[in-house]
Amino acid sequence: MEFQGPADSCVINGKNMGWLNCTACSAAMGIEWATSGESTPSGCTVRRRTGDTIGGLMLKQVEPIIQSYGITTEKRIDGYYATPQMIASRLRDGKAFLAQGNTGVLIGTRHQSTAGWVNHCIWIERPTGWVKTGAGWYRPSYVAAYDPAADGRYDFARGPQTWSWATLLRFCAALRPNGDATTETIGPGKAWAMFLTKKKTSWTAAVPPKTYFWKYTLVGDYIVSRTRELTGGFSAECEKPRSYRVHSTARDKFPQDSYNLTELLNGSRKGSFIGAQYAEET
């Protein structure tokens, strides 16, 4: 999770860029996701590489930085915007994305991260709860939202969150394309976004036949439950292992506060999290 604040968290040429770094921080999180943790630049590193020290950044400014890591991008802005169906389709294909919107729609909710209406950029991944729409296409019920401004100050939201599909669409529709000082929004059914495709990973997970293993369920970046399963054996590409904390509401179910896990990236168990002991770099 990459937080943008406080103001002096990123100083470039004597200028405090922290609270202007939401797009750079979201791009940094996207790079980490797309490279399966092999590249982990900070938001300040991304910002410095743009050469811009005036105001917030646009998606087109961080796109070449992301692409320099060998990541394929698809930018949808201005009249070439993304629709809800397109967002759902890209997520269903295994992509994740930087979403631009406005935090005003979050005020008064548990997702609030700013005091006022501010154009903002967040990182979105890990869709869950797929349902079929009346139009016949599928969309997720929830997504994992990584808001760089959600650092817990003033009792605001902190860390990775689970957003409903409706919350995501409201956030995107509230973007003020002509700046924070204006009131015109891009409106419902539209989103400015940049989709990233995950690079082929160099990690593989293998669980031998007749093995009992734990499969973990996560909400955002937090473990909420696990089930013990018996397998006939399987292998799959996987994320570089990392540590995940147990959610405070589930602490009584686990003997530890955190676990090293890896996410499976293909096969019938795609999207499942298992213990890091089954993963190795190939």
* Structure-token pair, residue 56: 């917030």
- Residue matched to tokens 């009992």: 212
Question: Which residue, 178, 197, 216, sits at the end of a domain?
Answer: 197
Per residue in 4-60, pLDDT tens? Answer: 999 999 999 999 999 999 999 999 999 999 998 889 999 999 999 999 999 999 999
% of the chain residues with pLDDT over 70:
100
List 102's β-bridge partners, or say none: 119
Whether residues 37 and 135 fall in one domain: yes
Domains contained in the chain, number: 2
DSSP letters, 23-87, are HHHHHHHHHHHHTTTS----HHHHHHHHT--SSPPPHHHHHHHHHTTT-EEEEE-TTSPBPHHHH
Dihedral pair phi/psi, residue 128, rounded to 5°: -140, 165
Whether residues 155 and 243 fall in one domain: no
CA distances from 93 to 89, 96, 103, 178 (A): 6, 9, 27, 32
* Structure-token pair, residue 107: 């005020």
Q: What is the pLDDT of residue 243?
A: 92
Q: Which domain holds residue 225?
A: 203-281
Residues 178-206 have a mean pLDDT of 93
**Could you tell me the pLDDT band of residue 86, with boundaries at 50, 70 and 90?**
very high
* Structure-token pair, residue 253: 């179910």
Question: Which residue, 182, 197, 212, sits at the end of a domain?
Answer: 197
Per residue in 201-239, pLDDT tens? Answer: 789 999 999 999 999 998 877 899 999 999 999 999 998
Nearest 5°: CA angle at 159, between 153 and 165?
A: 115
What helix, strand, coil percent values describe the chain, rounded to 5?
25, 35, 40
Per residue in 133-156, pLDDT tens? Answer: 999 999 999 999 999 999 999 989
Contacts of 170 (CB under 8 A, 6+ apart): 101, 105
CA distances from 18 to 25, 57, 261 (A): 10, 12, 31
Q: What is the pLDDT of residue 202?
A: 80
Per residue in 61-82, pLDDT tens? Answer: 999 999 999 999 999 999 999 9
Element (H, E) at 171: helix 165-173
* Structure-token pair, residue 167: 């919350």
Q: What is the pLDDT of residue 72?
A: 96
Is position 169 within any domain? yes
The two beta strands, 242-246 and 142-146, are unpaired
Whether residues 171 and 244 fall in one domain: no
CA-wise closest residue to 97 among 5, 4, 203, 171: 171
CATH of the domain at 186: 3.90.70.10
Is position 1 within any domain? no
Whether residues 209 and 192 fall in one domain: no
Are the beta carbons of 171 and 245 closer than 8 angstroms?
no
DSSP letters, 132-166, are E-TTS-EE-SEEEEE-TT-B-GGG--BSSEEEEHH
Give the global pTM: 0.84
Question: Which residue, 197, 214, 239, sits at the end of a domain?
Answer: 197
Q: What is the pLDDT of residue 37?
A: 85
CA distances from 124 to 27, 115, 157 (A): 11, 22, 16
